[in-house]
Amino acid sequence: MVLSTLVDLLNSPFMDEFLIWSVAAVAGTIGLVALVNALDIVLDAEAH
């Protein structure tokens, strides 16, 4: 019974939406870190 409830939860539209937003958040975070790193490299190169 508990396993059936868990499977129903994982197959729900809410879980699909949650997974999509989770992947988008991780991709956005990685992109932001890459942008900050690139700016740091450019500004560091200009300082020398």
- Looking up tokens 């197959």 gives 11
Q: Please tell me the pTM assigned to this model.
A: 0.70
What is the average pLDDT value for the chain, to the nearest integer? 90
Q: Which amino acid is at 43?
A: L
* Res 1 pLDDT > 70: no
Q: What is the pLDDT of residue 22?
A: 97
R_g of the chain, CA atoms, integer Å: 20
* Res 37 pLDDT > 90: yes
Q: What is the pLDDT of residue 40?
A: 96
Range of the domain at 33: 20-48
Q: Does residue 5 sit within a domain?
A: no
**Rounded distance, CA 25 to CA 27, Å?**
5
Q: How many structural domains does the chain have?
A: 1
Q: What is the pLDDT of residue 8?
A: 81
Q: Does residue 39 sit within a domain?
A: yes
